Structure 1
Amino acid sequence: MKSIRNPLLIVLASLAIGAGSLAAAQDSGSANQRGGANGQFGQRFQERMQKRAAELHDKLKLTPAQEPAWNAYIARMRPASQPQRPSADELNALTTPQRMERRLDMMRQHEQRMAERIAATKEFYGILSPEQKKAFDEASRHRMEHRHHG
Structure 2
Amino acid sequence: MKKTLVLLVSALSISGGAFAQTAAPSAAPAMSAASGADKSARREERVEQRIAYLHQALKITPQQETQWNAFADVMRGNGATMSELFEQRHANKNISALDDMKQYAEIAQAHADGTKKLVDAFQPLYDSMPAEQKKLADVTFREAPPQGGHRSRSSGKKAAPSNDSTVKP
User: Normalised by the size of structure 2, how large is the TM-score?
Assistant: 0.55
SS of match in other structure, 2:128? coil
5+ residue gaps, structure 1, are 1-20
Cα offset for 1:109?
2.0
Which structure: larger Rg?
1
Letter matched to residue 58 of structure 1:
Q
CA 136–74 in structure 1, closer or farther in 2 if over 3 Å, else same? same
Letter matched to residue 112 of structure 2:
E
Identity of aligned residues (%): 28
Cα offset for 1:74?
0.7
Partner of 1:149: 152
Letter matched to residue 104 of structure 2:
R
5+ residue gaps, structure 2, are 1-18, 154-169
CA 130–43 in structure 1, closer or farther in 2 if over 3 Å, else same? same
Determine if contact 2:67/2:121 at 8 Å carries over to the other structure.
no
CA–CA distance in structure 2, aligned partners of residues 98 and 51 of structure 1: 34
How many pairs does the alignment contain?
120
Deviations 1:34-58 (A, max 9, x none): 944x21x433443343333223323
CA–CA distance in structure 1, aligned partners of residues 40 and 130 of structure 2: 34
Q: Is 1:88 matched with 2:84? A: no
Q: Hey, which of these two has a bigger chunk of helix by percent?
A: 1
Deviates more, 1:61-70 or 1:126-135: 61-70
CA 105–53 in structure 1, closer or farther in 2 if over 3 Å, else same? closer
CA 102–129 in structure 1, closer or farther in 2 if over 3 Å, else same? same
Partner of 2:47: 49
CA 98–122 in structure 1, closer or farther in 2 if over 3 Å, else same? same
SS of match in other structure, 2:144? helix
SS of match in other structure, 2:145? helix
Partner of 1:7: none
Mapping for residues 1-150 of structure 1, pairs under 5 Å: 28-29=24-25, 33=32, 35-36=35-36, 38-39=37-38, 41-78=39-76, 79-81=79-81, 82-83=84-85, 84-85=88-89, 86-89=91-94, 91=95, 94=96, 96-144=97-145, 146-147=149-150, 149=152
Deviations 1:12-63 (A, max 9, x none): xxxxxxxxx9xx96x7437x73944x21x43344334333322332333333
Pairwise CA RMSD: 3.1
Cα offset for 1:75?
0.8
